[in-house]
């Protein structure tokens, strides 16, 4: 059984990005600059954005954290987005989701300049990705494809089941897995909350990518021998015996499923670190496109 180590792979990827950034600096070119906008004080979001900022520092990318109060109005946030769009010092920026309920997330994401949309959520980038044109690929699906590539996981002609249909993970990864290319060409089925008898699909799958958000949903009796498992789920489960008061669980019952898997991502340490690494890669790409 192969553990698809996202932490180890992300470190290697960051080192590669750092070499490119160092070359830019030595050649007198612009240093890539990423900004992160966070609204409110959600603990998980603050932790996640903090790790992005630290990762930038590690590889020489400039970073700016813009922390706004959760009482900010939608119009005020849109004005901030316009400022970022017009800031030539910035190559890319992200708006951390979720946003407060009084703010329309769709309106905010549409306001982001697609050329600076390193999260890959803008419809222009999503559409270009679907048409196999140059675009910013959403960081989590991008990270999954990079893991499959680096571990040389065969995907061509394989039966792939994607559990979850979100615009952030499920929908884009289903598109990427079915596209032409050395790590695509799979036959993809998208399952979701309305799918009946989901076990009938997962038991015949060669590759399962789960982005459902239900802890340990996928059990050993739901998969076949030598399946490849990509677990995108990350849920805080209360645990009073743990110092933090919680533990992190994925969508997959890891211990039992791993015994049947050919390859599997752990949680934590699988897809999560790759997401941050690919965000940095998108930031470098944004800078290179502006050269």
Residue 273's alpha-carbon distances to 203, 238, 278, in angstroms, are: 28, 23, 9
Contacts with 125 (C-beta within 8 Å, 6 or more apart), sequence order? 114, 117, 135, 136, 137
Helix H, strand E, coil C: the string for the chain is: CEECCHHHHHHHHHHHHHHHHHHHHHCCCCCCEEEEEEECCCHHHHHHHHHHHHHHHHHCCEEEEEEECCCCCHHHHHHHHHHHHCCCCCCEEEECCCCCCCCCHHHHHHHCCHHHECCCCCHHHHHHHHCCCCCCCCHHHHHHHHHHHHCCCCCCCCEEEEECCCCCCHHHHHHHHHCCCCCCCCEEEEECCCCCCHHHHHCCCCEEEECCCCCCCECHHHCCCCEEEEECCCEEEECCCCCCCEEEECCECHHHHHCCEEEECCCCCCHHHHHHHHHHHHHHHHHHHHC
Choose, from 91, 96, 116, 251, the residue flagged as catalytic: 96
Residue 16's alpha-carbon distances to 90, 93, 104, in angstroms, are: 22, 21, 37
96 included as an active-site residue: yes
30 included as an active-site residue: no
Choose, from 119, 206, 231, 251, the residue flagged as catalytic: 119
Q: How many CB atoms lie within 10 A of CB 157?
A: 9
83 included as an active-site residue: no
Choose, from 14, 52, 249, 281, the residue flagged as catalytic: 52
Active site residues: 52, 96, 119
């Amino acid at each position: 059984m192969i553990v698809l180590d996202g932490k180890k792979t992300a470190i290697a990827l960051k080192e590669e990005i750092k070499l490119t950034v160092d070359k830019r600096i030595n050649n007198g070119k612009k240093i890539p600059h990423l900004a992160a906008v966070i609204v409110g004080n959600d603990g998980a979001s603050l932790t996640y954005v903090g790790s992005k900022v630290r990762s930038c520092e590690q590889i020489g990318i400039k970073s700016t954290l813009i922390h706004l109060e959760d009482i900010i109005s939608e119009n005020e946030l849109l004005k901030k987005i316009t400022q970022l769009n017009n800031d030539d010092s910035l190559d890319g920026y992200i708006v951390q989701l979720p946003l407060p309920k009084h703010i329309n997330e769709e309106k905010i994401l549409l306001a982001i300049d697609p050329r600076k949309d390193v999260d890959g959520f803008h419809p222009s980038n999503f559409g270009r990705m679907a048409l196999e044109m140059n675009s910013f690929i959403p960081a989590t699906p991008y990270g999954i494809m990079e893991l499959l590539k680096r571990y040389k996981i065969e995907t061509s002609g394989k039966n792939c089941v994607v559990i979850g249909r979100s615009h952030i993970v499920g929908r884009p990864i289903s598109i990427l897995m079915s596209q032409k290319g050395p790590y695509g060409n799979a036959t993809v089925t998208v399952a979701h909350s309305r799918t009946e008898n989901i076990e009938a699909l997962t038991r015949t799958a060669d590759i399962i990518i789960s982005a459902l958000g239900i802890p340990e949903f996928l059990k050993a009796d739901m998969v076949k021998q030598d399946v490849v498992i990509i677990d995108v789920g990350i849920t805080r489960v209360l645990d009073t015996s743990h110092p933090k008061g919680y533990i992190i669980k994925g969508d997959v019952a890891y211990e039992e499923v791993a015994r049947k898997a050919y390859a599997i991502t752990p949680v934590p340490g699988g897809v999560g670190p790759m997401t941050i690494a690919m965000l940095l890669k998108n930031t470098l790409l944004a800078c290179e496109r502006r050269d």
